[in-house]
Structure 1
Amino acid sequence: MEKLLSILDSIGIPYAYDHFAEGESPEPPFLCYLLPGSDNFSADGKVYHKISEVRLELYTDYKDLASEQKVEDTLDAAGLFYNKTETWIDSEKLYEVLYSFDMEGM
């Protein structure tokens, strides 16, 4: 978990786990991260190697290539392989760029 928090700190964009408390959300851009599952390696009924699924959500009020580049440069520097998708959330009037990746040892 420390490695993930260090990565998030180095991006330089405000972040929270899952969501910000109501009324405490910063102005975009901001990040939310989730740990929705795992893909652990096991044998003999024991976990030998922990691997957590990470979802990192970048929220912006316009297509913000500079913020996307900050996130991607930081993930690249950390040696993480990620997939990226994007969607417009009409009810929030925000773009969400989702980065999905696995991290070991969490």
Structure 2
Amino acid sequence: MKQEDLFQELKSLGLPVAYGQFTSTLKNPAPPPPFITYQFSYSNDLIADNQNYVGIENFQIELYTVKKEPVTEKLVQDKFKELRLTFSKVEAWLDDEKLFQIIYEIQLIGE
């Protein structure tokens, strides 16, 4: 799976999705929560014979909600399971924004 595929799969959840952040303008304001952002975190390639043998890209997918939404979290997690993507999960309350942030870390393994 490539980054473009990840974007399309996240969009299929029916939530607004952006790479990195939403750009808000007067004509196109940022969407209200719940929404998803995602971005590349780091690579962890498999190296053999002095070369990057298999590309492994780590992505951070962030779900933002106004209140705790187990149903929405399950929707995201079920999508990862459907795509056979293992994930780790961390939750934080962002006091300044008054939002819950659920951070999922996944790996996309190159072809």
The TM-score normalised by the length of structure 2 is: 0.88
SS of 2:79 mapped into structure 1: helix
**Runs of 5+ consecutive residues of structure 2 not aligned to the other structure:** none
Write out per-residue CA displacement over residues 32-76 of structure 1, whole angstroms, 9 at most, x where no aligned residue: 001010110112222111110010000000111121111011011
Q: Which moved more, 1:60-69 or 1:2-11?
A: 2-11
1:20 to 4, 19, 22: 22
**Runs of 5+ consecutive residues of structure 1 not aligned to the other structure:** none
Post-superposition shift, 1:7?
A: 1.8
Runs of 4+ in 1 over 2 A off after TM superposition: none
Please name the residue that 1:40 is paired with.
45
SS of 1:11 mapped into structure 2: coil
Post-superposition shift, 1:105?
A: 1.6
State yes or no: 1:70 paired with 2:75: yes
The TM-score normalised by the length of structure 1 is: 0.92
In 2: Cα distance, 1:66 partner to 1:33 partner: 20
In 1: Cα distance, 2:15 partner to 2:109 partner: 23
Query: Which runs of structure 2 are paired with 1:23-102 in the superposition (5 Å)?
Result: 23=25, 24-102=29-107
In 2: Cα distance, 1:43 partner to 1:86 partner: 36
Aligned residues: 106
